[in-house]
Structure 1
Amino acid sequence: MAHTPGCLSILQISDSHILPEPGETLLGIDTAYYFQAVLEQAFAPGQQFDLILFTGDLAQHPSPLNYQRILNTLEAYQTPCVCLPGNHDDYELMQQILNTELVNCRKQVFLGNWQIISLNSQIPGAPGGRLSDQELAFLERCLGSQPDHYALLAMHHHCQSINSPWMDTMMIENAQALFAIINKHPQVKAVTFGHIHQAITLEAGPVRVWGAPSTCFQFQPESKQLTVANTPPGYRVIRLFADGKLKSETHHLPKPLTGLQTDTQGY
């Protein structure tokens, strides 16, 4: 997107579920094709970003092939990109391959008078989320050492209920510990996450809480069980202003997915 004076622009993408081999499909769709289509729309002529924030589930079945393909795709856009792990990812492998000057797994990034803090909410081998004591201590250090920087926090799993019973079983199980830290540091302005495959806007007092759509298939909002929606792939744009204000909106591709299997019981 075109830059606005005093404004920093972040492109949040999430849950691409890239498969190891080109042409492989998940729920009937080519996730790599739509990953590229989302990036092409976001980076339409005249549009640019200061940072890409990739909030997890980069790969469906992690392998060097997945992550190398993701790296090659992202580096073509010549924009700094920070990647954090989702429940489907292999974080160790991510850190090995997504380790270039442009595309990496840095946990703290400074943009102007903002800091973007990425937290690992992964429980290895489980679909749900938790922030370890180490992650919470890291967050406390980042905020305590930079009281004059506004903060945007990013993680994969959601930290508030989205009123979707099956999905809420996977939210961050110690979210109270997260918000106990946030409440001590008023420079935290927003929390954003992936995992839920849908756009949502919530609030926690003065803090904005955002969920991002997936670059592939979406889940039906407020559903009692896994239900795939026919909503097109999408992304979130976050604008950070020098005075601590921020704005965000989501965008979707103009057409629904081709070949989507909406009657599946799992993925």
Structure 2
Amino acid sequence: MPMPYSKTVSILQITDLHILPEPGEKMLGIDTEYYFKAVLEQAFAAGNTFDLILVSGDLAQDPCTASYTRILKTLEQYPVNSVCLPGNHDDYPLMLSLFNSQKVSCYKQTLFEDWQLICLNSQIPGRPGGNIDNEELLFLQKCLAEQPDYFALIAVHHHVLPTQSQWMDTMLIENQHEVLKILLNYPQVKAVTSGHIHQVMDRDYQSLRVLGSPATCFQFKPLCRDFTLDLEMPGYRIINLLPDGSIETSVYRLPGLLQELSLDSFGY
């Protein structure tokens, strides 16, 4: 999908919405849909503009037409296209059937003037962990081989590097080493960004920058052996792709603390 020229490409990454079937429903004590909308409102406040919204998985908690339709209507209110990829909680075929317009889609490859965004499906249906299957790996290599003059940002739901939270890292992409080997074989690949971890990651792995983003709902406390929630507020990441192949990125959060969160929960 060719995109209009922009000297610096600005991407708003939101992730892990966990929208519930009915409006006003709460999960772990919070209204996930309320915070999804609040994050978008803050990101676009004061005239901020973006070239794309990247929604990096777990759009729905219990995926159904109702939840995806409300997400679609919310995204369509903004003057920018959105690209959505599936997480372990999502129904990918349902996403493909509903997010099928130019405004909101599941496009796997987006071309800008100097960059390409490649979205990969790491979902293993029925399981919380991730894997990039052979079809996806071939697609990845095809995109990179056919567009050698484009810098590349890779987006995927599950994380490719450990978080050092033992419970979370049981869901690391199973074939992470195979994926990283491919990415490192193409010097135009500059970064990988993911969701799933509900916390911030920003690490260098050889020539790659590896990013993880906060969720638009509840956050996970870093460096924990077991499932642990954090009072940090919902947030988002802005990724600026510069024409010289460099990346500038920052994480922003809603103000305050997530006081209504049920900290005694043992899972989600």
Task: State TM-score, norm by structure 1.
Answer: 0.97
1:178 equivalent to 2:182? Answer no
Residue matched to 1:110: 111
Partner AA of 1:68 in structure 2: T
1:1-267 alignment to 2 at 5 Å? Answer: 6-267=7-268
Deviates more, 1:175-184 or 1:164-173: 175-184
SS in 1 for 2:240: strand
TM-superposed CA distance for 1:100, in Å, is 1.2
Q: Is the 8 A contact 2:184 2:207 kept in 1?
A: no
Partner AA of 2:86 in structure 1: P
Q: Distance in 2 between matches of 1:219 and 1:60?
A: 16
Q: Distance in 1 between matches of 2:68 and 2:99?
A: 7
TM-superposed CA distance for 1:251, in Å, is 0.3
Q: Is the 8 A contact 2:231 2:259 kept in 1?
A: no
Q: Is the 8 A contact 1:119 1:153 kept in 2?
A: yes
Q: Distance in 1 between matches of 2:174 and 2:162?
A: 11
TM-superposed CA distance for 1:258, in Å, is 4.3
Percent identity between the two aligned chains? 54
TM-superposed CA distance for 1:255, in Å, is 1.8
Q: Is the 8 A contact 2:184 2:208 kept in 1?
A: no
TM-superposed CA distance for 1:45, in Å, is 2.5
CA RMSD of aligned residues (A): 0.8
Q: Distance in 1 between matches of 2:182 and 2:207?
A: 14
Structure 2 unaligned runs (5+)?
Answer: 1-5
Q: Distance in 2 between matches of 1:192 and 1:77?
A: 22
SS in 1 for 2:192: strand
TM-superposed CA distance for 1:6, in Å, is 2.6
Q: Is the 8 A contact 1:28 1:259 kept in 2?
A: yes
Q: Is the 8 A contact 1:29 1:258 kept in 2?
A: no
Partner AA of 2:19 in structure 1: I
TM-superposed CA distance for 1:257, in Å, is 2.2
Q: Deviations over 1:141-174 (max 9, x none)?
A: 0000000000000000000011110000001000
Deviates more, 1:200-209 or 1:141-150: 200-209
**How many residues are aligned here?**
263
Partner AA of 2:261 in structure 1: L
Q: Distance in 2 between matches of 1:101 and 1:145?
A: 23
